[in-house]
Amino acid sequence: MALLLTESDVRQLLTMPLALEAVERAFRDLAEGTFVLHSRRRIHTPNKGFLHYMAAADFQSGYEGLKIYTYANGAIRFLVPLFRWDTGELVALIEADYLGRVRTGAASGVAAKFMSRLDSRVIGMIGTGGQAATQVEAVCAVRPIERVRVFSRNEQKRREFARTLSERIHLPVEAADSAEKAVRQADIVITMTTASQPVIECGWLARGVHINAAGGNLAHKAEIDAETVRQAAVIATDSVEQAKIEAGDLVQVFAADAGHWSRVVELSEIVVGRVPGRHSQEDITLFKSNGVAIEDVAVAGKIYELARQRGVGKEVPLFEKA
């Protein structure tokens, strides 16, 4: 029988430390060739909606699966069907909104662990939506962060976000009056927005800054300006193949010369030490996060195992013989 895990179940089981461990291991396995990844694809529907789907198989843990999600009439619905690759057995159906927020944050946390300066103390956060808090939470778990500055266009929302985030991470969180004020002198900058045009400029950035650009995954959108991309000494992404399809921050800058893609490395290569995450304390480093299925499958596998151990979830009789 498959185990049905609702959003409530996932929130009960999933922690950031668990996600960070699972996602880092997934990138190590990807580098070693025991994790297989297929990039996201989209179907556009006549009502201006989407069906998104992405898949991965983990031959180490024994799981394979995909994330499927729809957007229609302003609502997004996420689902991860999880299988055993050796038997083809469906082991779980997992509602995956919160899973997605935490695993996306964890990917940024892994990037910060291997690419940011060890003495990073200040985060500049652009964006206060549903994915923003887990971005900050993950980075705080891997670096000795002392304070956070946050900006979004809605003053009331950013002040409320600063208050609730401060309670969540037990650190001072300041609502900045502008994106520039949030970013200046920050050691780590995070963007998690739906912006079509850049929300940060290279001239605002301190030397040695690490940037997690995590918001956009459409080729016509960009959160960081072209000069930031040009100045970055190391550019990493979770999947170069997927980045070429949807990482607008890079696609738009490299459009005139596809040879520039040779500058982009995969985070997995940095995690296993084949490529340095930075060359010096002065480097600007950039992680362009797209969100890939290895993250979903790795975290889903951990959630499923915990659910079995703790008796969480509901059995669903699918593919049962008569």
CATH of the domain at 228: 3.40.50.720
Whether 18 is covered by a domain: the verdict is: yes
Q: How confident is the model at residue 309 (pLDDT cuts 50, 70, 90)?
A: very high
Question: Sign of the CA dihedral 213, 116, 55, 13?
Answer: negative
Determine the residue type at 309: Q
Kindly state whether residues 178 and 254 are assigned to the same domain. Answer: yes
1-52 residue pLDDT tens? 899 999 999 999 999 999 999 999 999 999 999 999 999 999 999 988 999 9
Mean pLDDT of 129-139: 96
Whether 310 is covered by a domain: the verdict is: yes
- Alpha helices by DSSP H, the chain: 7-13, 16-32, 97-115, 132-142, 155-169, 179-183, 226-231, 240-246, 248-254, 267-271, 293-310
Whether 22 is covered by a domain: the verdict is: yes
Residue 321 is predicted with a pLDDT of 72
Position of tokens 């994790």? 35
Whether 300 is covered by a domain: the verdict is: yes
Position of tokens 């994915």? 131
- How far is residue 133's CA from residue 144's CA, in Å, rounded to a whole number? 17
The b-or-e profile of 110-123 (16+ CB within 10 A means b, else e) is: bbbbbbbbeebebb
Residue 217 is predicted with a pLDDT of 81
* DSSP 8-class letter at 259: G
Kindly state whether residues 250 and 127 are assigned to the same domain. Answer: yes
Residue 283 is predicted with a pLDDT of 98
Whether 322 is covered by a domain: the verdict is: no
Residue 117 is predicted with a pLDDT of 98
- How far is residue 287's CA from residue 112's CA, in Å, rounded to a whole number? 8
Which structure tokens are listed for 236?
Answer: 């990493």
Q: Please, which residues have CB within 8 angstroms of residue 44's CB and are 6 or more apart in sequence?
A: 50
Residue 258 is predicted with a pLDDT of 80
Kindly state whether residues 142 and 87 are assigned to the same domain. Answer: no
245-258 residue pLDDT tens? 999 999 999 987 88
Phi, psi values for residue 112, rounded to 5°: -65, -40
Q: Tell me: pLDDT of 322 over 70.
A: no
Contacts within 8 Å (CB) and 24+ apart, 62-66: 62/86, 62/301, 63/91, 63/297, 63/300, 63/301, 63/304, 64/297, 65/293, 65/296, 65/297, 65/300, 66/293, 66/296, 66/297
68-78 residue pLDDT tens? 999 999 899 99
Residue 269 is predicted with a pLDDT of 98
Residue 205 is predicted with a pLDDT of 98
Q: How confident is the model at residue 219 (pLDDT cuts 50, 70, 90)?
A: confident
Position of tokens 């997690």? 212
Kindly state whether residues 176 and 217 are assigned to the same domain. Answer: yes
Say if strands 210-213 and 90-95 run parallel, antiparallel, or are unpaired: unpaired
How many domains in the chain?
2
Kindly state whether residues 89 and 157 are assigned to the same domain. Answer: no
Residue 84 is predicted with a pLDDT of 97
Kindly state whether residues 302 and 287 are assigned to the same domain. Answer: no
Whether 31 is covered by a domain: the verdict is: yes
pTM for this predicted structure: 0.96
Residue 40 is predicted with a pLDDT of 95
Whether 26 is covered by a domain: the verdict is: yes
Kindly state whether residues 184 and 255 are assigned to the same domain. Answer: yes
Kindly state whether residues 16 and 68 are assigned to the same domain. Answer: yes
Tell which wins on pLDDT, 161 or 216: 161
Which structure tokens are listed for 198?
Answer: 């850049």
Residue 220 is predicted with a pLDDT of 87
Kindly state whether residues 287 and 298 are assigned to the same domain. Answer: no
Distances (CA, A) of 163 to 58, 172, 186, 194: 39, 9, 19, 22
CATH number at residue 31: 3.30.1780.10
Residue 88 is predicted with a pLDDT of 95
148-163 residue pLDDT tens? 999 999 999 999 999 9
Kindly state whether residues 122 and 248 are assigned to the same domain. Answer: yes
Q: List the domain range (segments joined by +) for residue 69.
A: 2-100+294-316
Kindly state whether residues 236 and 258 are assigned to the same domain. Answer: yes
Q: Please, which residues have CB within 8 angstroms of residue 88's CB and are 6 or more apart in sequence?
A: none
Mean pLDDT (the chain) is: 96
Instruction: Tell me if 183 sits within 8 A of 126, measured CB to CB.
Output: yes
Kindly state whether residues 24 and 52 are assigned to the same domain. Answer: yes
Whether 107 is covered by a domain: the verdict is: no
Q: How confident is the model at residue 320 (pLDDT cuts 50, 70, 90)?
A: confident
